[in-house]
Amino acid sequence: MRIIPAIDLIDGKCVRLSKGDYSTQKTYSESPLEVAKAFEAHGIEFLHLVDLDGAKSKHIVNHKVLEVIASKTSLKIDFGGGLKSDEDLRIAFECGANQITGGSIVVKEPGTFESWIRSHGSERIILGADFQGDRIATDGWLETSSHGLVDFVAKYKSKGIEFVICTDISKDGMLQGPSFAVYQNLLKEQPDIKLIASGGISTFEELPKLAAMGCEGTIIGKAIYENRIRLKELEDFILNSN
């Protein structure tokens, strides 16, 4: 299972929110690059980079931070937040993203998202399946759609999607543990997807459980920043998994 630390960006700084609420913003570092370098120094190969300004503005904003991290580390970066147009996508890939995550656009403009899968390939386009209750949420998690999680994932699996980042918004940033039952059910219904668990990771002990369940990756945010999970633990986990 891939270990994928998260860096969320507001005003170019490394921040975390609780349940996606911008009023709960806590800044952890003025230098996302230094944070990324610390991850890399502990054997981590992947990074989940989220443009929260972009999510709110509905277009890419923090692409310069992406460019700096991509050029000064060897981390493989998946980038999301506010990607709404072919131009946003072009900028993200030109600035060094290995993959991009489509969120709101999947609901609002499915034709555009499907064209991205066709033109860039399923290995570079991730489905962002962020949910509240059983419904897919959009617009920086400010709106809830009518799409049910399992049916939503099934639809895009049929369109060629392989990678799915599944975030339980009610758990995100709360350090209360991930939604094991939801992931288990999703993998039972769609065993061929590469499921990346996100939201609520709070202790190291949860990671082997997610791996045993069949998750392809897990995104860890606040648990790292609040020292609930140490980078040395993640380094050892990665070494023992290889």
CATH of the domain at 66: 3.20.20.70
Residue 236, C-beta contacts closer than 8 angstroms, at least 6 positions apart:
none
Residue type, 68: V
State pTM to two decimals: 0.95
Write the pLDDT tens digit of every residue in 14-36: 999 888 888 999 999 999 999 99
What pLDDT, on a 0 to 100 scale, did the predictor assign at position 134? 84
Q: 78: pLDDT confidence band, cut at 50, 70 and 90?
A: very high
Residue span of the structural domain in which 139 resides? 2-241
Write the pLDDT tens digit of every residue in 127-170: 999 998 889 987 656 667 789 999 999 999 999 999 999 999 88
Q: How far apart are CA 133 and CA 124, in angstroms?
A: 28
Estimate the share of the chain in helix, then strand, then coil, as percent rounded to the nearest 5. Answer: 40, 30, 30
What pLDDT, on a 0 to 100 scale, did the predictor assign at position 142? 62
Residue type, 150: V
Considering the chain, what is the average pLDDT of its residues?
94
Write the pLDDT tens digit of every residue in 54-73: 988 989 999 999 999 999 99
Do residues 105 and 76 lie in contact, with contact meaning Cβ atoms separated by under 8 Å?
Answer: no
Q: Which two tokens stand for residue 130?
A: 């962020």
Residues annotated as catalytic are 8, 130
SS3 of residue 173 by DSSP? coil
Number of structural domains (the chain) is: 1
Do residues 48 and 205 lie in contact, with contact meaning Cβ atoms separated by under 8 Å?
Answer: no
Nearest by Cα to 19 from 133, 158, 164: 133
